[in-house]
Structure 1
Amino acid sequence: MTNDTELKPGTVRTLAVVRTGEPGAFLDAGTGKTTDDILLHRAQQTREVTVGEKLPVYLYLDPKGRLTASMRLPKMREGQVARAAVINTTRDGAFVDIGAERGVFMPFAGMKGRVRRGDKVWIKLYRDKSGRPAVTMEVEDELRRAARPAEDVKLGDRITGSVYNLTDEGAFLFTTDRHIAFLHHSETAERPSLGQEITARVTFVRDDGRINISTRPVKQEAMDIDAEAILAMLRSRDGSMPYSDATPPETVKEKFRISKASFKRALGRLMKAGLVEQREGWTYLKQPDDSEGGDRLGTTGQPDRHGDSI
Structure 2
Amino acid sequence: MLLGDYNELEVAREVDFGLYLTSDDGDLLIPGKYVPEGTRVGDFLRVFVYRDSEDRLIATTLEPLVRVDEFAVLTVRDVSDIGAFLDWGLEKDLFLPYRNQRRRLRPGDRVAVYVYLDETSDRIVATAKYERYLSKEPFPGQPGDAVQVLVANESELGYAVIVNKAYPGLLYHNEVFRPLRLGDIHTAYVRRVRDDGKLDVSLQRTGYDEAVAATDTLLAALRKAGGTLPLSDKSEPDDIYRRLGMSKKVFKKALGSLYKQGVVQLAPDETRLVEGK
**1:27 deviation in Å?**
2.4
In structure 1, distance between residues paired with 2:61 and 2:185: 35
The answer for the alignment partner of 2:143 in structure 1 is 151
Bigger CA radius of gyration: 1
The answer for the alignment partner of 1:89 in structure 2 is 78
C-alpha spacing 1:103/1:55, structure 2 compared with 1 (3 Å): same
Equivalent runs, 1:1-310 vs 2, <5 Å: 4=1, 10=4, 12-28=6-22, 37-74=27-64, 76-78=66-68, 80-91=69-80, 92-128=82-118, 129-143=120-134, 145=136, 151-152=143-144, 163-164=151-152, 171-174=159-162, 180-182=168-170, 195=182, 205=192, 208=195, 210-211=199-200
C-alpha spacing 1:150/1:113, structure 2 compared with 1 (3 Å): farther
**3-state SS of paired residue (1:59):** strand
**3-state SS of paired residue (1:140):** helix
Q: Is the 8 A contact 1:81 1:125 kept in 2?
A: yes
In structure 2, distance between residues paired with 1:30 and 1:163: 38
Q: Is the 8 A contact 1:121 1:194 kept in 2?
A: no
The one-letter code sitting in structure 1 at the alignment partner of 2:160 is: F
Alignment RMSD: 4.8
**1:151 deviation in Å?**
0.7
Q: Structure 2 unaligned segments of length 5 or more: list them.
A: 204-277
Identity over the aligned pairs, expressed in percent? 24
Q: Is the 8 A contact 2:66 2:72 kept in 1?
A: no
Bigger strand share: 2
In structure 2, distance between residues paired with 1:113 and 1:149: 34
TM-score normalised by structure 1 residue count: 0.46
In structure 1, distance between residues paired with 2:148 and 2:7: 37
TM-score normalised by structure 2 residue count: 0.51
Q: Is the 8 A contact 1:84 1:97 kept in 2?
A: no
* Residue correspondences, number: 200
Q: Structure 1 unaligned segments of length 5 or more: list them.
A: 154-158, 215-310
**1:45 deviation in Å?**
2.2
Q: Is the 8 A contact 2:18 2:32 kept in 1?
A: yes
**1:107 deviation in Å?**
1.1
C-alpha spacing 1:206/1:74, structure 2 compared with 1 (3 Å): closer
C-alpha spacing 1:112/1:178, structure 2 compared with 1 (3 Å): same
**3-state SS of paired residue (2:33):** helix
**3-state SS of paired residue (1:85):** strand
**1:197 deviation in Å?**
5.0
